[in-house]
Amino acid sequence: AQSVSQHNHHVILSEAASLELGCNYSYGGTVNLFWYVQYPGQHLQLLLKYFSGDPLVKGIKGFEAEFIKSKFSFNLRKPSVQWSDTAEYFCAVNAHNTDKLIFGTGTRLQVFP
Amino acid sequence: ETGVTQTPRHLVMGMTNKKSLKCEQHLGHNAMYWYKQSAKKPLELMFVYNFKEQTENNSVPSRFSPECPNSSHLFLHLHTLQPEDSALYLCASSQEPLAGVETQYFGPGTRLLVL
């Protein structure tokens, strides 16, 4: 069965620090990969997604993620975080040509000014 | 505001009650989804509807009964629930089924407490 692992459950950073959130998935076939974000009191929303092409994907608000197929990973990065990045971040995967989106448990990011 | 609304936002029910959750999307999408979000657990897909037809039932107990009368509305009928069913229930929609790598748009959720 497919699964998604987010090893960092809670990350605390100061503003301007660099961020990397890990995401690993288990599935041997072609996948589509997503990062969703949930800001406090708001809906889950898409941050970025990968389905083909350049494995380095740029998203909103300066976020990027790199798909490394050999490592089954899709880590999220941001060079310099801001207080407004405080949120919960969810990695998700769906096997190509399926309706089923599998989510990780989420990583709670707190950024202090 | 994502264009996906859910009512009620909060619901408390007893184990013998029957209630329904409602989801409406104003985006002209063709696919709708129900998810369950429990504390410390990944978001779990429950049901998928494409063009009003159910295409996925992720081994959900029969005490949860979905209904999709049209592409804009999705219901989740609840009856004889258990306390462990307490969770946040999220609705989402996408333009087409996920095979097209569509973005899902989520509603705010219904926080359910079963006593």
Note the pLDDT of residue A59: 93
- Kindly state whether B108 is in contact with chain A, defined as any CB-CB distance less than 8 angstroms: yes
What's the rounded Cα separation, in Å, for the pair A18 and B66? 43
Q: List, as ranges, residues 5-64 from A with C-beta within 8 Å of B.
A: 32, 36, 43-46, 49, 51
The CATH code of the domain that includes A62 is 2.60.40.10
Summarize pLDDT for A58-108 with one digit per residue, the tens. Answer: 999 999 999 999 999 999 999 999 999 999 999 999 877 676 889 999 999
Q: Would you say B29 and B94 are in contact if contact means Cβ atoms under 8 Å apart? A: yes
For chain A, how big is the Rg over CA atoms in Å? 13
Count how many pairs of residues, chain A against chain B, have C-beta atoms within 8 Å: 56
Note the pLDDT of residue A28: 78
Note the pLDDT of residue A30: 85
Nearest CB to B45; choose among A44, A100, A105: A100
Note the pLDDT of residue B96: 78
Q: Provide the token pair at B102.
A: 């569509």
Note the pLDDT of residue B98: 60
Q: Would you say B49 and B58 are in contact if contact means Cβ atoms under 8 Å apart? A: no
A103·B42 Cβ contact <8 A: yes
DSSP annotation of B41 reads S
Contacts of A4 in chain B (CB under 8 A): 42
In a mutational test of the A interface, the residue from B90, B101, B103 whose CB has the highest number of chain A CBs within 10 Å is B101
State the CB neighbour count (10 A cutoff) for residue B58. 13
- The domain tally of chain A equals 1
* Parent domain of A80: 3-112
The candidate with the shortest Cα–Cα distance to A46, out of A61, A56, A35, is: A35
What's the rounded Cα separation, in Å, for the pair B31 and B93? 5
Percent composition of chain A: helix, strand, coil (DSSP 3-state, to 5): 10, 55, 40
- Could you tell me the pLDDT band of residue A110, with boundaries at 50, 70 and 90? very high
The candidate with the shortest Cα–Cα distance to B96, out of B65, B51, B36, B61, is: B51
Give average pLDDT by consecutive 10-residue segment, chain B, 115 residues. 90 93 95 92 90 82 94 95 95 79 89 95
For chain B, how big is the Rg over CA atoms in Å? 13
Summarize pLDDT for A1-38 with one digit per residue, the tens. Answer: 778 999 889 999 999 999 999 999 998 788 899 999 99
